[in-house]
Amino acid sequence: MLVNLKYVLDLAEKGNFAIPAFNVYNMETVMGIIKAAEETKAPVIIQNYSRLVTNEEGYYLAPIVLAAAEKASVPVCFHLDHGASEEAVVRSLRFGATGIMIDKSLLPFEENVAATKSVVELCKAVGVEVEGEIGHVGTAANGDEQTTEYTTVEEAKTFVENTGVVALAIAVGTAHGRYKKAPRIAIDRIAEIHDAVDASLVLHGGSGIPDEEIKASIKAGIRKINFGTDICFSFLDKVFETSRDVYAIDLFMKDAIENVKEFAIKKIKLLGAENRI
């Protein structure tokens, strides 16, 4: 069933687990995620990256996500990931998104607050909640996971109180992409921010974080964890392995769908989201 962002985040907060948020890129990745969620009886977030929304792919992909979510026997939120502009936000709302992330984290703090608050007000008009971001969640290829510029408790509290976001992505040592070496997550900082703010905390850059770090971050208060890069690899690795003798595309894709499903099941179980419905 299609639900809003706050619905799944409230489930996670009440149950002390994290919602897996999977970025999807085509029908097959959507199918793999939905199959995993239904098999494990887990609530999930299916995300479209901002680029897909503002390019033509989102026009075709959004109806697939919506159809899958509405048919699913588990709660599914359809979310914009790293919305880069108001255009991406408006397009996502028109495409049927039930959650929005606006990422203005590269702006000075005050400008980030103002831009995020504007999007929160826009989305409020249609009953959609918003995720924001403060601090630098960079790119693993650049070694950004080694940053010590973590989000402070004061910044997080001020941001949430002045924007009205229901979810907040924080900088605590993670980065996007595959890590050159395992990141050091600031678990104590997560716990401090969780105790101080009235918003669900989000960990970006979930691909490649050691399992024990994931578990510790959830125990400290993380309620949503994003997986994008490893979804791509779980799909592409199987595509590259599949024989070219299988030329009917629907048959060719079956193993890739299964590989995405198996990857998603592992993450659902790791985050404690299994059997929550």
- The catalytic residue positions are 81
Check whether 176 is labelled as a binding-site residue: yes
Report whether 96 belongs to an annotated binding site: no
Known binding residue 262? Answer is: no
Is 229 known to sit in a ligand binding site? yes
Flag whether 48 is marked binding: no
Q: Is 226 annotated as a binding residue?
A: yes
The tokens for 87 are 């255009």
Q: How is residue 242 annotated by DSSP?
A: S
175: Cβ–Cβ under 8 A, 6 or more apart, which residues?
137, 138, 139, 140, 142, 144, 145, 147, 183, 205
177 is in an annotated binding site: yes
Integer Cα distance of 259 and 135 in angstroms? 34
Q: Is the dihedral of CA 157, 198, 110, 153 positive or negative?
A: positive
Tell whether 206 is in a known binding site.
yes
Phi-psi region of 138 (alpha: psi -120 to 50; beta: other; left: phi over 0): beta
CB 133 within 8 A of CB 168: yes
- Residue 59, both tokens: 């026009």
Would the annotation count 82 as a binding residue?
A: yes
Annotated binding site for Zn(2+): which residue ranges? 82, 103, 133, 176, 204
Annotated binding site: which residue ranges? 82, 103, 133, 176-177, 204-207, 226-229
Annotated binding site for dihydroxyacetone phosphate: which residue ranges? 177, 205-207, 226-229
